[in-house]
Chain A
Amino acid sequence: MSADTHAHEGHDGHGHHGPKWLQHHFETPIQQFESSKLGMWAFLAQEILFFSGLFVAYGIFRIAYPEAFAAGSMQLNKIMGGANTIVLLFSSLTAALAVRSAQLGKKDEVTRYLFITIICAFGFMVIKYFEYTAKFEHGLLPGIHWNPSHLVGIDAPLDHMHVFFGVYFMLTGLHGVHVLIGIGILFWIMMRNHNGEFSKEYWTPVDLAALYWHLVDLVWIYLFPLLYLI
């Protein structure tokens, strides 16, 4: 990278020594920043469409089997789901504050806020683990694994109730994968920040990582009422 920058400076007409984080195909930092942001938003738009398939499946099956969905939702723990919502919202706050600190060039604060965000992400996964374990133990699984042994609010399982759990595990599972990937990205950015790669002039990666994390939060904002609060 540094070799590239030197080469660029060699035949650079206007005598500016570009900072080493400014890639040679961008004229100015603002151009690089705007391009990176648009690229990230295009990716996030893709993520929305990626999840939309499962949301449409949810819509089709909920309209087809409303009673089974209501009964299935009753098996989920609103308190655990609500707690996870608050954990994710809090992690979104700390991610936004990490970006704010990065904008001001406060390196140690960025590390601290990203660390809290990662801890919250693990907290989310721990609560999810307890929820999933309970469902496994009670046989509330999709398809051929449907073997309910413990039901809340109803005496006997309803027809098609396993479909609700199919949708539940696919939606929360895909979301959980995003949380795990998010942990990896946030950790990577935290280490890069710790190594002093970012400054008051250049903090785009912190911003983009936070955008990804906010998207994970956005998806959960809809999953929570759709699955837990029917």
Chain B
Amino acid sequence: MTLASHFSYWVTVLLLMVGLFIVMARENLIKKLIGLGIFQTAVYLLYIAPGKLIGGVAPIVGGQFAVYSNPLPHVLILTAIVVGVATLALGLALVVRIKEAYGSIDEDEILLMDARDDTSPEPEAKDG
């Protein structure tokens, strides 16, 4: 175990943690989605880096090559990228709707408004 042999894992962990930190600590909802994106791309790295063989080539089979990198993680991550952008689009649409409804995309402000709504007078008691 040396620095070079595990560096890609550690960068992956760093990126995962930066993404997680942004999701947890930043109040802005768009910033949170960007943090989610960082987390997601770190997962791409987690999958693809172990499939690499130094001295190998991209998995496009030709007569003059003998060593190829592993193609399976590439396939899985191709799917993940496309699904990721779909998730991002849906999340941003939700953020835009939240902005229209609350006038803010700051999580603290939104929670404050919700709390104020819950404790406001005129309870309007209709159960069920």
Whether chains A and B associate is no
**Footprint of A on B, CB under 8 Å?**
none
